[in-house]
Each structure stands twice: as structure tokens, then as C-alpha cells.
Chains A and B, each alone.
Chain A
Amino acid sequence: MAEIIENLLPHVVEKWQELLECTWQTLYMTGFSGIISFVLGLALGIVLIATRKGGVLQNTVLYGILDKIINLFRSIPFIILLASLIPLTRLVVGTAIGTKGAILPLIFGTVPFFSRQVESALSEVDDGLVEAAAAMGTSPIGIIFRVYLKESIPSLTRVTTITAVSLVGLTAMAGAIGGGGLGDFAIRYGHQRNQIDITFVTVIILLVIVMILQEIGNLIIKRTTH
């Protein structure tokens, strides 16, 4: 058995410790920037829903500004964002390379996308529910938490899963400019040295990560949909 694996995946066996480390880096980048992006994106999405026209805390000026900033960041390709954020990253985390250096660009790349997703998930909440809550004397803040967020848990889970999966993809890209992780590993060995088995195994690992994320998401959606 060991012999077969060695024959099929010679380079993987040779560098399995580095592979393990890179997998951990990918998980670390996804987790760390994912949690921060989740909090920021959720907050922004809520602000968008609350301040939009007809929202519970309507403020068209604030909405207009946020809307344009989000569009701006969403239209910048991630690879350019990575490069152009280097000075800011240095300032904030002290280094622009390695796993630590990748966190900030990942957050900048994810938050605008996620806040739009949150906005669309929250806007699926029936206006009638908001009206009913208002008629029962619920405050605007109460409406945000007790109606918008509570009633859209399945949709929020769905968009969180989508965003998390795309974040895994972004971490691979961040790796390309010295961020570490599985993307970096695959490019350095699989691509540049033409060690096909490395690329193959990397893809399998990423696939497993994505599948696990998706399954967790599906489970939560199933549990919270009535």
C-alpha cells in the first residue's frame, strides 16, 4: 500500500509535512479573515438594509456613500487589490508577506461581496413582517434583530456558505504573492516544477474543505427552515 502511494504521488510523500503546514495556513487564512469579514459584512449589510429608501432607519446619504464604496471595492480585481494594499498591510500588521500579510487583503476582497449578499438575503424578508412588528411597537433596532436577522437565518447561512467557499479560492490566490497556503504550494511545486501529483492532491484537499463548508451550511439551513 505504502509503495503504491509512493509511486503514484512521489512528490507529495516527499513533502507531506510542508503540505500539512500549507493546509493549516489555508484554514487559518480562511478562518481568520472569514470571521472578521463575517462580522464586518453582516454589519454593513444591516446598515444598507436599514438605511435604504423605506428602511427602518432611512438615511439616503449614508446609503449612497456605502453603496458606492462597496461597488468600488467590488470592481477591483482581487489580484490588483492584493498588490495595492501592500503599504496599508505593512502599516497595520507589520508585514505584507506570509499568512499574516494575506489577512487584510482577504478581508478587503470579501467584505464588499459579503455585505451585498447579506443585503440581498435581508431584503428577502417580507415587508409585511416588518410592518407587523412596527405595529406591535417594536423599535427599529428591535426590528433589525428580531425580524430581519432572526427571520433570514437560512438565507444568511446560504450567502455565508457561498462567501466562505469563494474565500477559500481567494486564499489560494493570495498565496501566489507570498501568502503561503495551498495555493502557494500548488504553484511553487505543482506548476513551476511540473509536479502534477502536488497539484492533484492540493485540489482534492481544497475540494474536501469546500464540501465540508457546504455541508455545514446545508445542515444549518435545513435545521432553521420551517
Chain B
Amino acid sequence: MMHLIVAPIVLPAVVAAFLVLVLRHDLTSQRIVSMGATLALLAVTIWLYLSATDGAPTSYQLGDWRAPFGIVLVLDRLAALMLLLTALLAVAVLIYAMAGWDKAGRHFHPLFQFQLMGLNGAFLTGDVFNLFVFFEIMLIASYGLMLHGGGARRLRAGFHYVAINLIGSTLFLFAVGLIYAVTGTLNMADLVGKVAQIAPGDEALLRVGALLLLVVFALKAALVPLQWWLPSAYAAAPGPVAALFMMMTKVGAYSIVRVYTLVFGADAGAVADVAAPWVVPAALATLLLGAVGVLASPTLLGLACFSIVWSMGSLLLALGLFDQGGLSAGLYYLLHSTLSGAALFLLADLVRAQRGRIADRLVPASLLPHAHLLAGLFFVAAIAITGMPPLSGFLGKLLILDATWRGPLAVASWVVLLGTSLLVIVGFARAGSTLFWKVADRPPEPVEAARSVALPVAVIAALLGTTVLLSLFAGPVTRELTATAQQTRDIKAYVRAVNPAALAQSRSEPR
């Protein structure tokens, strides 16, 4: 029965291969198969989430090789939550892409499925080296998706993106090598015991390994000073791809939570809480820089990108506390910021397509064809993202403020989070009024082909609808997330699920 745990990885992999080998020339059947597979994935992840909510983490040992030696997948509430969020976002993005973007180049659907495989694998794996492998799968697919449609600007931004991630992968391997060299294992559950009993001479090496790993995850999560790649890459990527990439930054945040709660958490002996002094200050810097970027952006996509940087700052401000309150607040904000950020990217793409040559530059143009509809959506999206009442962004921010109050740097966190929120609100208000209210007296721009906006608008509205639902059902959702945070911080339960022998053994034999 629990073979379904491996389905979120196997299903996209098989479907992607099938799409590229058999259905390579037939877009219609590609769309049908891709959509069917993604819906099936959604069904599987819902089932996995439900089965994860009642009880302890479950592990799946591939090929039945025992845990520290074989490859192991672990399904707990946190992993199941991320899987469910990925599948939800994937369905929305895929529907949007079918309105035209998937025709812009070849192999959109196989790459999309491979991307899902990498994301799901990264959330499920219980092994640091496999985390590297799934990061690579995810990144390789993302290179293809980012360049989808071609063009000089995209190529140039793509080269930067690939180069920075290649360097990131190299650092990841250095970190993995260091950790393996001193502990002799890369299985996360096995690492828990081994890290705590590290030989005194190896502490420095392990600390370097742990912090190098943090650099890699911070690069993925776009934490200052490693955020420079994000605005140019996301702005150059096609709209639906940028929306899916919302999940890529979250993988970085997820990895930080997983590794620095489980392996280098409070019980890690000499390297206990090794990440804690770094994440919160970096998150504060990220908030500042993101807000300034939002104010300074000359384009709508640039604004969206910097608002993502800003939201990653708020997210890691909460997650960086590494305590119960911070984790559950952060998870609520993570759900909110993923869905509303994706909606903003899709909306920016739609607006750009409607404005012809002016594209998404924030200058007055002639009246948009569907101005009222788009302006309404932008208004809702702006309220959600900037965190104004009554939508989920506001509740998420309240939860974060409440969580930071008990942590270190409480005053700085409040001042920076509230101050930058104001800047972001100003930025969004200015962008919205320029886009939708200031009408220049000039002939309308020729728009390529009058695409139907019904389907894209429906997708964006649905995504924004989920943030409304998040705020309506905030009570039950936060209760679920509190349980998720509790389980994530229960290291013993995780180890017991993966490798029962390790718990007993870890106290007896230091390497």
C-alpha cells in the first residue's frame, strides 16, 4: 500500500519519458497526457497527505535495501504538505500554459513533468546525496523551461542562471563530501546520531560542511547576498514557468528547515543550531533589499520578482527562528506566498501580452482591452502579497510577527517587516495606478493575436481564490500546520521511521 510514496517521483518520470519518446510531435495528445498525469499526481498527493496526517512519519526503502545503505524516501506531514502544494500549483500552471505558452517552443510538457519529478523527489528524500540528485533533476528541467521560447534576452539571463546554479551544485558537493568524510554517512536519520558524537578534531570540518550546505540552500531560497540571480532569471522566464519556479525557492526554504532542524538541530552536539545565527539577519537584509527593489523596478515583472525576494525574506524570518511558533507561522506564509506569487506572475504575463510593444514597462499606455477585469485581479493580488487585511498575507504576517516576538532580534524584525511592508504597498499602489488608471492619449498598441483571456483569468482567479480560502479557514489550517511543525521537530519519530536500529546504536559507537 505504501508503495504510493514513490509515485510522486515515478509518475512524472514515466510520463515525461513517454511524452518525449512517443508523443513528441502531437501537442494535443501531449496536453491530454500531461494534464491527466498532473491530475493523477494531485490525487496521489491528496491521498498521501491524508495518510500522513494520522500518525508517525513513514519511510519507503527502495529495492528493500535497509536504511543507512539503501535509498530511502520519507513521508511526513511536512513533505506531504509540500507535495500537495506542488501538485496544486502544477495543475493551475499547466492549465495556464495550455492557453498558448506551451506552443512557444518544443518539449514544454516533458520538461514540466521532469521539473515536478525533481521537486517531489527533493521533498521526499531522506538522504543528503539524493537531495543533491533531485536538486539537479529539478534544475536541469528548469534550465529547459526557462529557455522555453528562446530569444536573446532569455538566453543571456539563462546563461547567468545556469552558471550560478552550476557553482551552487559544486558547493553542494563540497559540503556533502565534508559531511561524509567526518560522519561516514549521508542518510539524514543516520546522520542525526553520528553528528552528535563527532570526534573533537572533526568539529571544524563538519561545521564548514554544514555552513556550506546553508550557502547552497540560501542560494536556492534567494537570501541576501545570494539573491542576485533571481530577478533577472524569473523576469526572463515565460510567465507560467516563473509561476512554477515559485516552488523552486520554496525547495531552498524547505531544505533549510529539514536539514537544520533534523541533522544540525538542537541535539547536534558541537554543531547544534549551526544555521540559527545566520538565517534571521540574512532574512532581514532580504526584506530590505526586496522592498527597495519593488520600489525601484521599472517593469511589472521586475516588481513581481522583487516582491518574491521580499516574501522569501519574511518566510525565512519565521523559519529562521527554528522553533515551534516560527515553523508553523512560516508554513502558513509559505502556502500563501507560493499561491499568491504564482498568481502575480501569471497576471503580469497576461498584462504584458495585452500591452503589445510597451510590454510590462510601468509607463502609461492606451487603455487595456480588459482593463477592469485585470485591474480587479491585480488589486486582489496586491492586497494578498503586500499583506493587507483581509487576505491570507495579513494573517501570515501577523503569525510571523507573533513568532518573532519571542525570538532574538524581535525589535529589529518588527521594525523591518512592518517598514518594508509599507514600501511594498507603495510600490504596488504606484504600479497599479500607472498600469490601469493613467491612460496615455495614444493609439492602442497592436497586440499579436487577440488571445482569449477567459481561461488565464479563470486560473489566476482560482489561485487568488485559494488565498481567500486560506484566510477563511485560517483556524483549521493553522491547527494542521501546528501539528506539522510539531512532527517536523520530533527528531526521534523521524529516526524511528527510517532506521530503528540507529536510535539504539547511536549512543554506543562513535566513529
Q: Are A and B a genuine interacting pair, yes or no? A: no
Binding site for B on A (CB under 8 A): none
